[in-house]
Chain A
């Protein structure tokens, strides 16, 4: 099956710092998604990427779909305490009825005020 490696596993940063996390795959994806999960809640979609090389922003968040289609990164600029949570990458190789997401194991982000 597909393997997704997400790193780092956890990060502890100071408020105001920038954050970068990434995912790499053993095979090609045609969709990359980034989710955030707050404690006690379900994952919420942050950014969706559909084309190789695509760079998309959502406020202080920026994500890119790697040219090789085997990787993606998420950057958070000027972190704030509410950025705390677990960030998941997810990828898929096809749409339609065969669509299945493969998830990374998550990056736990802690922001020190």
Chain B
């Protein structure tokens, strides 16, 4: 089982560049989300989606866009990267009625 798959694993960006972090899940989960993890801050919710075509903001949405055109995919876009977006990003998913979230392996992003 692939579970939740994130790409790329590592990325270095220059300030102002744009990029997309890809996330795919093969478990037919309705709910998908993106978190960022920073030292001493734990995991903070960026955006989430409760189903295809539906997205909403989490705790720290500024500087990020998302879309959910299919159940399987939930890409996270940085339109103009800033050093403050240097972080580890995790995609996660769960079933609509489930209470447990399954995480991808993470994407390490550095903005210089």
User: Nearest chain-A residue to B41 (Cβ)?
Assistant: A105
Which of A31, A50, A104 interacts with B42 by CB under 8 Å? Answer: A104
Contact B105 A41 (CB under 8 A): yes
Which of A6, A101, A106 interacts with B101 by CB under 8 Å? Answer: A101
CB of B83 within 8 Å of the partner chain: no
B79-100: contact bitstring with A at CB < 8 Å (1 yes, 0 no)? 0000000000010001011111
What is the minimal beta-carbon distance from B9 to any residue of chain A, in angstroms?
A: 9
CB of A58 within 8 Å of the partner chain: no
A76-113: contact bitstring with B at CB < 8 Å (1 yes, 0 no)? 00000000000010101001110111011110000000
Contact A96 B96 (CB under 8 A): yes
Instruction: Give chain A's interface residue range (CB within 8 Å of chain B).
Output: 20 to 34
- Complex interface: chain A residues within 8 A of B59 (CB): 1
* Distance of A33 Cα from B106 Cα, bound (Å): 19
What is the minimal beta-carbon distance from A43 to any residue of chain B, in angstroms?
A: 5
Given contact pairs A48-B100, A103-B42, a sample of 15 additional A-B residue pairs in the complex whose CB atoms are under 8 Å apart: A33-B100, A33-B101, A42-B105, A43-B43, A44-B103, A50-B99, A88-B43, A90-B43, A90-B101, A92-B99, A97-B31, A100-B48, A101-B45, A104-B42, A106-B42
